[in-house]
Structure 1
Amino acid sequence: MSTSTRGGSGGAGVRVARLLLVVLYVGIALPGALVTPAPRMLLLAPLVGAFAAVVAGLVHPGFPAQPGARRAVLGASAGSALAVPFAGGVGLLGPTGSWVVIGMVLLAATVVGCWIADWDSAPLTVADPRRVAVLRDFVGVLPTEALVREWWATCAPLQATTDPQERAALVRVRGLILDELVRRDPDAMARWLGEGGPADPGTDLPRQRGPAG
């Protein structure tokens, strides 16, 4: 229970820090837009935003299919475009502007660090690309029972999902499992596949096959 409380408090703190960062950033950029030369606002800001959108779209694995990925790309574009008037707004603050920027950098580093920690510690879903990579590395040493459990764990999500990225990840997972099961006992798997895969693929497999079996 204490762990959940700490996680909840930490999550609330990160949300407050992120909101404060956004308010400061936009609040400084808006007056900065009034003093930024028109060519910079009309040409440079859109170019910076478009470049950020392209980069974010290329590095985000779910873009453009996933709504969350599209929102992330849009946010990256808007945030980068605001960097141009933000620079002008910092100039309006005079000597105080440097301290404000330093504070915002530290705040942003805290938010990003917490986000990375949460992402690394989050449980992996059956379609998570990290889980696919782990399975690819260790599929040859997992017990047959574990492979069969993993096979069945992907059945319901594969039938339920409409996300093409998630479906592709699930198909890769099942392909890795199927290839390994065939390697361990090609005759049993040939019979199972010949019957249309009606039941547990590991029913007729010797449970002690494989290095970790």
Structure 2
Amino acid sequence: MYRSDRGRFLWWWCLCLATLTGLLCMIAKWGPAGAFVCVLLAALSAVVVASAVWSGNDSRQGVKGIGRAMLASMVLGPAAIGLIGAFGFGGVLIVLTLTVTAPALVELVRARWFTAKDPAPQDLPEVGFLSDEELCLAWRRSFLLLEAARSAQARLTVVEERQRYLDELYRRSPDGVAAWLAAGALASGNPLPYVGDDDDRHTD
């Protein structure tokens, strides 16, 4: 997503300026009648495309989607044509720049990018073979992995991993885990001082 409202505001300001410029260029180049015909064609095209896209949705949602697409196309489509007609390649660059920097598109690309960047689940060692120190260290490291996870699937994988660590800690030292929790255990905390000193825990 955009890192600040300032960036989003700047994009909308540029879009409004480019749209107004494009519409004025269209009227100046083809006259009011030509601009009207272009707006009408853009609206009809938007209705056809939007009807196909929202045909399977709820009727009220579909009508709203078609209406938004029609209004946007009636303004943005002719404005883009006016910019390209008036400035040629420069107009193409303006239209492409505003398109690829649109907040919705940027958010979508970033979401997909971070999902792809999530590390694939790795084969984990059997927790029963870890020492107390190794198990507690794995618990603390898993918190950092959870913080770094970008997708729901990656977070779920780490949560399941942390549950395995916690279950093993409880199996070894139920009293120690209970004392740790009673002391206000943090998700990133170290349970070793509580479970490592439990002489009554069961180990393999």
Q: TM-score, normalised by structure 1?
A: 0.38
TM-score after normalising by structure 2 = 0.40
Rg (Cα) greater in structure: 2
